[in-house]
């Protein structure tokens, strides 16, 4: 990976994080998947060859986000604030 590729991919991650915080209130606060659903979406074995970053980052929206509890959501009412 060249320094320029690293910058490009790093900026893509920062943009994804910023977009997440910008839209966190639009997500259901609690996970919307059943136990095992995310595992079932993953391959049984790791890839033998690396994958392009452009194919990995979308997995955050497709695979990871549905399984999260969004602690930073304004709709999250729990025992303590998590936004400090």
pLDDT of 10? 96
Task: Domain of residue 39: give its range.
Answer: 3-67
Separation CA 28–CA 70 (nearest Å): 8
Query: Does residue 75 belong to any structural domain of this protein?
Result: no
pLDDT of 61? 94
- The total domain count for the chain is 1
What is the pLDDT confidence band of residue 11, given thresholds at 50, 70 and 90?
very high
Query: Does residue 84 belong to any structural domain of this protein?
Result: no
Query: Which pLDDT tens digit goes with each residue over 21-47?
Result: 999 999 999 999 999 999 999 999 999
Query: Does residue 72 belong to any structural domain of this protein?
Result: no
Query: Does residue 36 belong to any structural domain of this protein?
Result: yes
What CATH number does residue 18 fall under?
Answer: 1.20.1340.10
Query: Does residue 79 belong to any structural domain of this protein?
Result: no
Stated pTM of the model: 0.79
| C-beta of residue 43 within 8 angstroms of C-beta of residue 7 | no
Contacts of residue 8, defined as CB under 8 A and 6 or more positions apart, other chains included, come to: none
Query: Does residue 80 belong to any structural domain of this protein?
Result: no
């Amino acid at each position: 990976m060249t320094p320029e590729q690293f910058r490009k991919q790093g900026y893509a991650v920062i943009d994804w994080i910023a977009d997440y915080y910008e839209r966190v209130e639009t997500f259901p606060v609690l996970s919307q998947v059943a136990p095992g659903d995310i595992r079932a979406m993953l391959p049984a074995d790791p890839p033998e060859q690396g994958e392009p970053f452009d194919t990995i980052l979308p997995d955050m929206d497709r695979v990871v986000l549905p399984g999260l509890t969004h602690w930073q959501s304004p709709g999250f009412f729990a025992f303590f604030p998590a936004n400090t």
